[in-house]
Amino acid sequence: MKIGILAVQGDFAAHAAMLAGMGIETVEVRTPADLESCEGLILPGGESTTQLQFLQEEGLYEAIKKFATEDRAIFGTCAGAILLATEVKNPQQESLGLLDMTVLRNGYGRQVHSDVVSGPSTLKSEPMEMVFIRGPIFERIGPGIEVLAEYAGKPALVQKEHILAAAFHPELTNDTTVHQRFLELAGENSNRSALTR
Ligand code: GLN
CA 192 – ligand 1 centroid, Å: 34
Please state the separation of Cα 47 from the chain's center in Å: 13
State the pLDDT at residue 148: 98
CATH number of 2-196: 3.40.50.880
State the pLDDT at residue 85: 98
State the pLDDT at residue 191: 64
Beta carbon of 47 within 6 Å of any ligand 1 atom: yes
Which residues participate in catalysis according to the annotation? 78, 169, 171
State the pLDDT at residue 107: 78
Cβ atoms < 10 Å from Cβ of 56:
12
Beta carbon of 95 within 6 Å of any ligand 1 atom: no
Helices within the chain (DSSP H only): 12-21, 48-57, 60-69, 79-84, 177-196
CA 107 – ligand 1 centroid, Å: 9
CA 12 – ligand 1 centroid, Å: 13
State the pLDDT at residue 194: 55
Domain boundaries, the chain: 2-196
pLDDT per residue of the chain (197 residues) written in tens, 0 to 9: 999 999 999 999 999 999 999 999 999 999 999 999 999 999 999 999 999 999 999 999 999 999 999 989 999 999 999 999 999 999 999 999 999 999 999 877 554 456 889 999 999 999 999 999 889 999 999 999 999 999 989 999 999 999 999 999 999 999 999 999 999 999 986 665 555 54
CA torsion, points 184, 42, 68, 149, in degrees to nearest 10? 60
Counting from 1 in the atom list of ligand 1, the atom nearest the Cα of 45 is 8
Beta carbon of 106 within 6 Å of any ligand 1 atom: yes
